Structure 1
Amino acid sequence: MARKKKVGAYPSGLILFSLTLALFLIGFCGLLAIQSKRLVTYIRENYEVRAFLDKDLSESKLQKLYKTIAERPFVLKTNSSPQITLVTKDVAAKEFIAETKEDFSQFLGENPLRDSYRIKLTEDYFAEAKLQSVKQDLEELDGVFEVVYQENLVDNINRNITRIYIVMAVFAVILLLIIVVLMNNTIRLALHSQRLLIRSMQLVGATNGFITRPFLARGMLQGLISGLASCILLFVLIRIAISNLPELASLQEPDKIAMLMGALIGLGVLIGLISTLQAVNRYLGLSVDEMYG
């Protein structure tokens, strides 16, 4: 005995698979954006400005200079602790020898390097104009001989970061457009088996709202299921990535990832609703010849 068709009942396996995969790709793009933003912040906050000091400063002058620098608004503070490190000229000499494999003390007879404070800056000051103002401010302090930072590196990093964000944004928009078109076609094909039932309901006087309601409910449910499935896949991907590369754990931002997953679920429901509504309205507007064509 043939099963009686119910309005809104149509094959949904392909729809669930397509929408889940599409939402997962969008979520992956969002995850990359979150991780790259955190990575950019990490790079910026670990960038150091070096303030070379006058020679033969007393311990009291070093402490006074440290406190003066620590009060500056551009100094990064972690747990209220200023990120300022004193590097003596002896330590600097060892670092230089380790990097260059050359011992200058053998032919100079003395250490020409200076003590220095290595200062980490807040992310807001990671721009050429602001770094110049930081350099000028520090060099005006009593006891500071010279301030040095890599000028070209800052500009290059900022330019590359902007390019990456633009490319990711364009890719996400294109992907979203492809998803909407794909879902419209997929749902329209799925509803093809319901076209005669829709027409029969119209002939007995059912309103468009009454006919549409079950389809919309099913479309939203499919979007919800697909959103949840894409979130699960994204969570599994994160755990696999961290297990293989533990360093990624420090880049995780649970609050933003939770917001991303919530957005994926909402987007899935929205896409399911809009795509189903467009597909159903198309069949509601077909003539008898087009319905049977």
Structure 2
Amino acid sequence: MKKKRPARLKRRLVRSYLTSTISIALVLFLVGMLSLLLLNADRLSDYVREHVGFTLVLNENVREAEVLRLQKILSATDYVKATKYVDKEEAAEQLTKELGEDFVGFLGFNPLFSSVDVKLNAAYMQADSLIILENNFLAHSQVKEVYYQRDLVRIINENVKRISLFLLVFSVLLLVIFSTLINNTIRIAIYSQRFIIHTMKLVGATRSFIRRPFILKNIGYGILGAFLANLGILALVFSYRQDFEGILDIQQLHTVGIVFVVVLGFGIFISWVSTYLSVNKYLRIRYDELFYS
């Protein structure tokens, strides 16, 4: 029976340490994903803005060489990100798919015009800039008409500001929640050793001497949890890198490095603070209070 009891106690401690590490790792994983989102918030808003652009409707008899020249001129400007030529046959095919019927066969002719789709850089997707750009596009002899979704651009610009503010508030709230979760995990782990802390205090150990092993151990859990969390973030991001393309800039090593440092720093800091406060609590209270604290 004496041999079984230490073995059972050892298994219980291992399960406790394992549970603490996994809990910290899961919370730090969420911290890392939140950091990745915040670091790419501007890129996300740019991605949305740059997918709304102009459609330059071309004159009826514009030759292909003139269209290519127009595209080269536009691509050389600071405000154009990309251009795509859509001839009238391709436009008719696209509209036929959307309508679900062959309107060309019904009408007997193709009423559509060739066009150039223009995607702008995000910095120029503002109401005042778009008015100037519209006039610039109309100044080209190949262009008959300029079309873009004014209301959609206005809604996007308004919502980007609102979402940025919401994201900031939401991030602060999540960090408070994440800190509380890690703090509670560590407090529960230290609660099970409160009598050991009291015994060390009775034999004359100083407070710093008593705190040191607990702090070092829990910082170790924080580092291990951060390592597991960073592995999980890497696995998730690279598994879905094609879906994240254009939204999350995972190719820049400094972005990934910042996320890793944030996760590691957060894990170490919260582990240290939570352990320090929890151990101090049991250093202050009397022996009889340990049974219901």
Same fold (TM over 0.5): yes
Aligned to 1:13: 18
* Structure 1 runs of 4+ with >6 Å offset: 34-37
Alignment pair present for 1:248 and 2:216 = no
Are 1:26 and 1:172, in contact at CA under 8 Å, matched by a contact in 2?
A: no
Alignment CA distance shift 1:120-1:213 (3 Å): same
Cα distance, 1:151 vs structure 2: 1.6
Are residue 266 (structure 1) and residue 268 (structure 2) matched? Answer: no
1:39-68 per-position Cα deviation (integer Å, ceiling 9, x unaligned): 654444343311223343456654553343
- What 5-or-longer segments of structure 2 have no aligned partner? 7-12
Whether the 8 Å contact between 1:49 and 1:119 is mirrored in structure 2 is yes
CA RMSD of aligned residues (A): 3.6
Query: What are the superposed Cα offsets for residues 74-127 of structure 1, whole Å, 9 maximum, x if unpaired?
Result: 111xxxxxx2233333443443344333535764x6654433222121122233
Which residue is 1:103 aligned to? 103
Which residues in structure 2 correspond to 1:129-208 (within 5 Å)?
Answer: 129-162=128-161, 164-208=163-207
Cα distance in 2, alignment partners of residues 289 and 209 from structure 1: 23
SS of the equivalent of 2:103 reads coil
Q: How many positions carry a matched residue from both structures? A: 277
Say whether the 8 Å CA contact 2:28–2:226 is kept in structure 1.
Answer: yes
Question: Any idea what SS the aligned residue of 1:47 has?
Answer: coil
Secondary structure of the corresponding residue to residue 184 of structure 2 = helix
Residue 215 of structure 1 corresponds to which residue in structure 2?
Answer: 214
* Matched letter for residue 103 of structure 1: F
- Aligned partner of residue 140 in structure 2, secondary structure: coil
Aligned to 1:119: 118
Judge conservation of contact 1:191–1:280 (CA < 8 Å) in 2. yes
Query: What's the CA shift for 1:213?
Result: 1.7
- TM-score when scaled to structure 2? 0.75
Give how far 1:171 is off.
4.1
> What secondary structure, in the 3-state scheme, does the structure 2 residue paired with 1:12 have?
helix
Letter in 2 for 1:150: Q
* 1:80 equivalent in structure 2: none
Tell me, which stretches of 5 or more residues in structure 1 are unaligned? 4-8, 77-82
Alignment of 1:56-67 (within 5 A): 56-57=61-62, 61-67=66-72
Deviation at 1:147, TM superposition (A): 1.2
If the length of structure 1 is used for normalisation, what is the TM-score?
A: 0.75
